[in-house]
Amino acid sequence: MEHIKLGNVTITRVWEYFGSVEMAPSTFFPESSKEVWDDGAPWLSPHFLDSKTRTVNSAIQTWVLRSGGKTILVDTGVGNHKERPYAPVWSRLETDFLGNLARAGVAPEDVDIVVNTHLHIDHVGWNTYLDGRNWVPTFPNATYLMPRDDFDFWNPENGHKPLLGRGNQNVFEDSVAPVHEAGQALLWETSHRIDADLRLDAAPGHTPGSSVLTLSSGTDRAVFVGDLLHNPVQILEPDANSCFCEDPAGARATRRRILGRAADDNALVIPAHLGGHGAAEVVRDGDRFAIKGWGPFDPYTEQG
- Decide if 182 is inside a domain: yes
Report pLDDT for 160: 79
Domain count, the chain: 1
Residue 288 maps to a domain? yes
Q: How far is CA 125 from CA 61, 79, 174, 280, in A?
A: 11, 4, 8, 26
**pLDDT digit string, tens, across residues 245-293:** 999 999 999 999 999 999 999 999 999 999 999 999 999 999 999 999 9
Residue 172 lies in a domain: yes
Mean pLDDT of the chain: 95
Q: In this predicted structure, which of 29-43, 157-171, 195-209, 223-237 has the lowest mean pLDDT? A: 157-171
Q: Is the pLDDT of residue 167 over 80?
A: no
Does residue 301 lie in a domain region? no
Opening angle at CA 263, ends 146 and 267, nearest 5: 55
Say if 156 falls within a structural domain.
Answer: yes
Residue 300 lies in a domain: no
Residue 299 lies in a domain: no
Whether 162 is in a domain gets the answer yes
Full-model pTM: 0.96
pLDDT of residue 303: 62
Here the CATH number for the domain that contains residue 29 is 3.60.15.10
Q: Does position 159 have pLDDT exceeding 90, yes or no?
A: no
Domain of residue 240, residue span: 2-294
Query: Sorting pLDDT into bands at 50, 70 and 90, what band is 304?
Result: low
